[in-house]
Structure 1
Amino acid sequence: MATATETKIYKCKNCGLVTTEKGHLCAPQETKRAYTCEYCGITVSNPRHVCKPKVAKLNYVCDACGRVAVGKDELCKPAEIKK
């Protein structure tokens, strides 16, 4: 899961790159919220960011709604994903 940060964060309106240094972007726009992915460490503006390290750890799917999760305690009707 991604966690919120307190520093000023900028997102390039052209390429979507997110950083704390607006001088590194060609068209920076300040964003209100940014998140650091606990799986890959990248800073993103979308809390629903999915990366390869996170996908590799997804082990369960909910039989009721289809949501996927790392732990079965995060779902109401967990079923193990066969890999």
Structure 2
Amino acid sequence: MTYTCQNCGVTAKERSKLCNPANEIELENACAVTAEKVCSEKIDEIKFSCDACGSVSASSDNLCVPIEIR
């Protein structure tokens, strides 16, 4: 289990590491964060997009069908 930021989708094991932590989630259910919801200071960390739903993440582990953003 982990926490996710409601603003940018970044995940962490500790709530205190996030600017707007949400309830605990399972990492495999982390899809649903679109680029429009990513905090501007975190956008450079985004390296992957989900080919199924368009969600974005810094880690491919957080997406169901990850593809690398070029």
Q: Shorter-chain TM-score: which interval? A: 0.3 to 0.5
Relative contact order: is structure 1 or structure 2 higher (C-alpha 8 Å, sep ≥ 6)?
Answer: 2
Bigger strand share: 1
Bigger helix share: 2
Report the TM-score, using the length of structure 2 for normalisation: 0.48
Report the TM-score, using the length of structure 1 for normalisation: 0.41
